[in-house]
Amino acid sequence: MMSSLKRISKPEEGEYSAYAIMYIKLLPDDGRVLEYLKENFKKTKDFAVSLPEEKLSYRYADGKWTVKEILMHLIDVERIFGYRALRFARNDKTPLAGFEQDDYTPHSGALSRDLVSIFEEFESVRNATITLFNGFDEETFIRSGLANEHNVSVRALAYQIAGHELHHVSIIKERYL
């Protein structure tokens, strides 16, 4: 991986939808979001690997996702938000539709996969995400577009990806263990 990661200023109000603050606020305002993406992948992997096998397929309530499904959800959302960032970075002004996360989960194949294959995919996606954002310049980070009928900047998407992971790992620790 690259030796030097760019700093990306934290997005300001108006650069993301109201719901996204729950993810963005989980990160410090120090511009190190790409470093956090790299570090938190390792922490998430180490944490998941430490769980007993039965916890990976555990649901704390009917209709709730398993840990494996949550991991696949993180991968799917990171891909979608990375795609949005690419579109907006290239100044594509086409409004992007939202997506229904609950439709993805039953088709993710998470329960039939082992943790090694899930993390191989996760690592590949994470490396691509970091490389994508690290290739943008300062002007690009503040470009924005419409996604799911909300204005969102390129840099806000980087913070949403990082905060989204932290949010779900916290939920796993609170409700699954």
Contacts of 4 (CB under 8 A, 6+ apart): none
Q: Strand, coil or helix: what is 152? A: strand
On the question of pLDDT at 25 being above 50, the answer is: yes
In whole angstroms, how far apart are CA 52 and each of 55, 64, 72, 177? 6, 19, 18, 10
pLDDT tens sequence across 55-77: 999 999 999 999 999 999 999 99
Neighbours of 128 (CB within 10 A): 13
Mean pLDDT of 29-35: 98
Cα-only R_g, the chain: 16
- Write down the pLDDT at residue 3: 59
User: What is the structure's pLDDT at 38?
Assistant: 98
Question: What value does the mean pLDDT of the chain take?
Answer: 96
pLDDT, position 1: 46
Percent of the chain with pLDDT over 90: 98
Percent of the chain with pLDDT over 70: 98
Q: What distance separates the 2 farthest-apart alpha carbons in the chain?
A: 47
- pTM of the complete model beyond 0.85: yes
Q: CA 105, CA 97: separation in Å to the nearest integer? A: 18
Residue 72's H or E segment, with its range, is helix 67-89
Mean pLDDT of 79-99: 97
Average pLDDT over residues 132-143: 98
Contact status, residue 121 vs residue 110, Cβ threshold 8 Å: no
User: What's the mean pLDDT in 74-98?
Assistant: 98
Rounded CA separation 177/1 (Å): 33
Please classify residue 34 by burial: count the beta carbons closer than 10 Å to its beta carbon, then call 0-12 exposed, 13-18 middle and 19+ buried.
Answer: buried
Fold of 31-52+64-175: Four Helix Bundle (Hemerythrin (Met), subunit A) (1.20.120)
Q: How far is CA 174 from the centre of its chain?
A: 19
